Amino acid sequence: MPLDPSAVRVADVAATRAGLTRLQRAATAAGARTTTRLPAVLDRAAAARREVRRPLPLVALQAVLLALVALGSVGASVAEQRRPDVALARLRGRRPLAAAATVVGDLALVSVLGCLLGGLAGWALARVVAAWWLPDDVPSRSTARCCSRWPPPPSPPW
């Protein structure tokens, strides 16, 4: 009984293993013998899948840390540029917290807007790249209900 490799999906691995076990039991009960390397192939595929997933959180953490460093650098630069304005506000009689609140308010507005717009842009870009790069039969959280309104993107050059 040949196995169609294109019919096996990641979600069907457990069912494939169970079907193989049933087949082997039925063959043994009928006095026949079955030989297959399918369990080893499925084990290697599961190990490869785990290996692929392992570096993703590390890369994401590095990107987040880079964004935080860039945000801190921009914040320090803006604070340095606004130092004369804060000093002038202090000379005019504003309290230190009120003078600093103007700089913090400016930074908070820009930071919140940047985080929201950057998060939305990143999410949309991830969906488009996943829809373009992954084959149609690979389920993805970013492509599960994505891009059904648009025509399929072109195939990657490789």
C-alpha–C-alpha distance, residues 116 and 62, integer Å: 19
- Does residue 158 have a pLDDT over 70? no
Residue 75: half-sphere exposure toward Cβ, Cα within 13 Å: 16
pLDDT digits (tens, 9 = 90+) for 106-150: 788 888 888 899 888 888 888 888 777 777 766 666 544 444 545
- Does residue 11 have a pLDDT over 50? yes
pLDDT digits (tens, 9 = 90+) for 39-87: 888 888 888 777 777 777 777 888 889 988 998 898 888 888 888 888 8
Residue 110, token pair as written in the block: 């820009």
C-alpha–C-alpha distance, residues 150 and 157, integer Å: 20
Q: What is the pTM of this model?
A: 0.45
Asked if 102 and 85 count as a contact pair (C-beta separation under 8 A), the reply is yes
Closest CA to 158 of 124, 133, 129: 133
C-alpha–C-alpha distance, residues 130 and 98, integer Å: 47
